[in-house]
Amino acid sequence: MKKIVVVGSGINGLVAANYLVKNNFHVTIIEKKDIVGGACVKDTAVINGKDIDYAHGATVLGMMQKFVFEETGLDNHVKTYFPKGPKIVYFNDPEKATRIFQDTNNLCFELEEKWNEKGDIRAFRDDENKVIGYLQNLYRNAITPSVESAREYLGDYLTKLWVEGSAYDLLNHYFTSEKTKLYMGMTVIESGPTSLYEQGSAINIPLMDSGSIFNGYWGFVKEGIWKITEKLSKINLDAGADLMLSTKIRQIDTTNNTIFYLKDKIEKKLSYDYIFFATDPITPSKILADKPLKIALEKKDWIGTSGKITLFFKNPVKWKYTDEKNNYDTSFRFIFSNQSLKEFEKNSQDSKRGLKDYIPGYIQIYPEGAAQRKMGNVEEFDKVILFTKNFSFEKKAEDLNKTKNNIISSFLKFIENPEDLVDSKFITPKDLNEIFLFPKGNIDHLSLSTNQNFDMRSFSSEPNDKFFRYSNYNNIYYCGAGSFPCGSVAGTPGYMSTKQLIKGESKMTKYSDKLID
């Protein structure tokens, strides 16, 4: 039985371990922290003498593939929920809300009425779904992403527009209203300040909707999203994987396939046939003492500009916007401070350059507490999460208390009971770097910018044939959030990389059989 060491116990490491152990590999997971989960973990706040758990890093579930959810066994261990009602969008005005319906006919009517949209919303949705189908086909079959495969699946026209083109051109192709363009294009900068004008940035829009667990939408996990990694870790252990927590790798001898590590202050070693790094992309180069590779990687674009504020309320939040039938208590909400793509782009790029500590962009609101109640989990405090753009990388949360209070104040205008707010927790990109080891605070580790997304999101010296290999190391793979498609609590790189190995092993076995014959 061949031995595989998975370094890192975030979602990708756990998904990789799950598929590997089920394919008769001996799997050992090495984690330097004392808990599993990577950035999908909980923290606990003490409010009025009462403990309440909340998502420390990742908050919502969306980009995971349904087949991963089912094949790993997670579907039998966690309960999920996603809002069926429309998303609610504000342009910094509590009195004027726009509903983003899942039904295309309703959406067309709403955007024309509220935003005077005269473009072709239906064509956008139809074409986006074709691109999402293409991406999901890559995921399921572990196919190396390429412009050539996109052309075969989508045709030349859609490939140029959606895969090779810029988000700016894509949005202007389908829409006339600046507000529609802003809403549809906001995910381009979700992980970091990718320019809307960059060629290849268009693919970021369907990429963020390519999860199939909720058919492209995002949702919640009962108790909290950290249950995904907690439960998957247990599933893996029950399947026969080994787990070593609080373990620091000191050195890797790639000639003799030996890992030297420190555990309980004792130096130990472990042999391997393969290594899967489910870490940030730079860490393996440091462990392997590959200085030229480390220098080359550090020149890439790593900057992140997303921050997060978790709000705690002593009573359920009451939203100002409702209609005659619904209060939309579990709907995702968005508050935009910008009025045009030009302003949106400028603020995003200025934050990248660190011109200010914070420049208002948009706030994405996750109604965590309301969703928990829908799943039968009634907690002491209601939780609302503000996922916020655009922060510089210069300051920690403790240095931006005034900025935090200003963001919270801008949010409180949208609810009826602001007096019920009792506490808050704040994380900036600098904090994300220090807490979760994200290089320069990017939630996807590596920015989804030109030469770093889609078919370029690989660290292999032979990406066409060995996309998930790490540099030129034949038996070392990389499957962290820096690889295709990106991060999120999805596990897609973990799955795709194992399939690449298994296919290679199968070819080797067939070749050996021929030699024996």
Query: Most distant CA pair in the chain: distance in Å?
Result: 79
Q: For the residues of 207-271, what is the DSSP string, one character each?
A: HTT--TTTTT--BEESS-THHHHHHHHHHHHHHT-EEE-SEEEEEEETTTTEEEEEETTEEEEEE
Q: Please state, in angstroms and rounded to a whole number, the distance separating the CA atoms of residues 228 and 491.
A: 11
Question: In whole angstroms, what is the distance from residue 185 CA to residue 170 CA?
Answer: 9
What's the domain range around 293?
Answer: 3-77+222-300+440-516
User: What pLDDT digit, counting tens, does each position of 444-478 carry?
Assistant: 999 999 899 999 999 999 999 999 999 999 999 99
Instruction: For residue 141, count other CB atoms closer than 10 A to its CB.
Output: 9
What domain count does the chain have?
Answer: 1
Residue 449, domain CATH: 3.50.50.60
In a domain, 202, yes or no: no
Closest of 175, 187, 168, 184 to residue 112, by C-alpha: 175
pLDDT in tens, 56-95: 999 999 999 999 999 999 999 999 999 999 999 999 888 8
What is the CB neighbour count within 10 angstroms for residue 33?
15
Provide the mean pLDDT of the chain: 95
For residue range 38-59, what is the model confidence (pLDDT) as tens digits? 999 999 999 999 999 999 999 9
User: Which residues fall within 8 angstroms of residue 46, CB to CB, at 6 or more apart?
Assistant: none
The mean pLDDT value for 260-266 works out to 95
The model's pLDDT over 99-144, given as tens digits with 9 standing for 90+, comes to 999 999 999 999 999 999 999 999 999 999 999 999 999 999 999 9
pLDDT score for 516: 45
- Amino acid identity at 324: E
Cβ within 8 Å of residue 120, ≥6 positions away:
174
Phi, psi for residue 162 in degrees, rounded to 5:
-95, -25
pLDDT average, residue stretch 268-278: 98
Residues 39, 49: Cα–Cα separation, whole Å: 26
**Distance (Å) of CA 392 to CA 300, 338, 465, 499:** 17, 18, 38, 38
Query: Are residues 105 and 349 in contact, defined by beta-carbon separation less than 8 angstroms?
Result: no
- 497 occurs within a structural domain: yes
Structure tokens at 11: 């979602």
* Residue 31 token pair: 């984690």
Task: State the helix-helix crossing angle for 167-174 and 341-352, rounded to 10 degrees.
Answer: 160
- State the pLDDT confidence band at 515, using cuts at 50, 70 and 90: very low
Does the residue 204 lie in any domain?
no
Strand partners, 15: none
In a domain, 482, yes or no: yes
Contacts of 331 (CB under 8 A, 6+ apart): 83, 85, 86, 87, 88, 367
Quote the DSSP letter at residue 201. Answer: G
DSSP 38-51: TTS-EEEEEETTEE
**Coil, strand, or helix at residue 360?**
coil
Is 367 within the bounds of a domain?
Answer: no
Per the domain annotation, does 294 fall within a domain?
A: yes
Stated pTM of the model? 0.96
Q: Does 372 fall in a domain?
A: no
The pLDDT of residue 93 is: 86
Q: Looking at the domain assignment, is residue 108 inside a domain? A: no
The answer to whether 230 and 217 have CB atoms below 8 angstroms apart is: no
Q: What's the pLDDT tens digit per position in 6-25?
A: 999 999 999 999 999 999 99
The whole-number average pLDDT for the span 275-283 is: 98
- What's the CA gap between 355 and 391, in Å, rounded? 10
